[in-house]
Amino acid sequence: MTVFVLFGATGDLARRMVLPAFYTLAIEGLLPEKWILVGNGRGDVSHENFRERVREALEEFGPAPGKGPWREFAKRLRFAGGGFNTDSPGSLLDVIADARAELGTDAQLVHYLAVPPVAFPELTKALGAHGLAAGSRVVYEKPFGTSAEGFRKLNRQVHGVLDESQVYRIDHFLGKEATQQLHAMRFANTALAALWNREHVESVQIDVPETLGVENRAEFYDATGATLDMLVTHLFQVAAEVAMEPPAALTADSLQAAREKVIAKFRPIDPAEAVLGQYAGYKDIKGINPKSRTDTYVAAKLWIDGPRWKGVPFLLRTGKKMAAGEQRVSLVLRTPAGPFRKLPPQSNVLSFSLAGSGEVDLSLLAKRPGIADELEPAKVALPLTAVPDADPLPPYSRLIHDVLEGDRALFTRPDGLAAAWKAVRPLLDSPPRPVTYATGSWGPAKARKLAAPHRWLLGQ
């Protein structure tokens, strides 16, 4: 039995991500047998009007409400208006009381904060002030803080109300099926486990270019930028998934400990080994400061101080309005010393596409059939949907399911976040001036030097 309270229920994040994810779980039969979703917001919205808004969100972002158990799903939707803060709970307490009367007084409370980070402290305090914190689970969207100091302050405020075991800091890249395949491919296959170190890996590229701009969230983005929005969150977390030592077990505690331990070994990024960019026309967008120096692109070289990865550069890159949209992790293997001569560099690559349901690719050199010893590039691809009985969940659905189950394995811990802020701090304190780059390009040409003596695998 679960009462799922969605703060910011009529906002963009709830419409695009949370509500579609929740409905996906309903279609798949993965929700608790008894549940009620209570949307919360400042407006005075009736239960019926909220159901219609949820329907519209699903029609726009899917899965379409014409599919699956829409009628039964809609019956379980409620709305509590009047806002929610320490001074006033609005109608939320009454709606939750009605839901618990219907489901059972011991129904599990799950609070999902689909609101801007600036709203986290007050909502957290209000949960405690109005008796909704004890025994509950609370999901915080990223970014959890917007600076090292902001993170520490927010963490103290959260722990003043909640025990760490109640806190679920979400990073949807950790919920991606292909991100989890990094564990399976590495830890379940001897051949891959053997090459997962500096002896065999020349470099690692984590590349997340995007074709979208920021028009739909201009004011938020201009106060954030690519470094805060993507580098210190998604890209650092994926780097940790690649670089971690084998955990003792695939349990929440062991996985989190392994992830946070390697993040603590991230060397602070040298601003001289980073390139910031801003796409042409960004300052012309409504809501953007005409003098903005916000980065819409960041590329950085990350070093991990430990015996497994000593001397192996992790090349991280993301940007808006780029030539293509990809989410790819690539382990570039070292070129063999012989007996073949003049082998082309970066020919042996183990690559994971994190987009969609994911794909594992192996690029290698093969002999061209014939009498001559001539080599040609070849590629082996394994779409994860081709695995027998594959039934992948979208990342938000997977993570919300884990919250409902009380599984914190794919959520971040404060020690890891503290180390991540420490690693990015030099770049935040002394950022290079953003270089203007053309929309539809691969970003500033200056970033090519970061991959020297070779190149970025995507573009350029």
The answer to whether 331 touches 350, Cβ cutoff 8 Å, is yes
The two three-digit tokens of residue 90, written as one number: 């609005």
Q: Is 39 annotated as a binding residue?
A: no
Q: Are 163 and 127 in contact (CB under 8 A)?
A: no
Q: Is 227 annotated for ligand binding?
A: no
Structure tokens, 34:
């008894």
176 labeled part of a ligand binding site: yes
9 is in an annotated binding site: yes
320 is in an annotated binding site: yes
Q: Of 145, 135, 178, 297, which is closest to residue 227 (Cα–Cα)?
A: 297
User: Cα dist. 158→5, 31, 243 in Å?
Assistant: 18, 27, 29
Between CA 277 and CA 284, with CA 278 as vertex, the angle to 5 degrees is 170
How far is residue 45's CA from residue 81's CA, in Å, rounded to a whole number?
A: 6
Point out the residues that are catalytic.
234
Report whether 295 belongs to an annotated binding site.
Answer: no
Is residue 163 part of an annotated ligand binding site? Answer: no
Write the CA distances from 81 to 47, 300, 427, integer angstroms.
10, 44, 42
Residues in the chain: 460
Please check if 15 is assigned to a binding site: yes
Q: Is 433 annotated as a binding residue?
A: no
3-state class of 353 per DSSP? strand
Amino acid (one-letter) located at 127 = L
Task: Measure the CA–CA gap between 373 and 378, rounded to whole angstroms.
Answer: 15
318 is in an annotated binding site: no
422 in a labelled binding site: no
Contact indicator for 290, 283 with CB cutoff of 8 Å: yes
DSSP 8-state assignment for residue 270: P
Distance of CA 142 to the CA centre of its chain: 8
Query: Known binding site for substrate: residues?
Result: 172, 176, 210, 229, 320
Annotated binding site for NADP(+): 8-15, 42, 142
Residue ranges for the known binding site are 8-15, 42, 142, 172, 176, 210, 229, 320
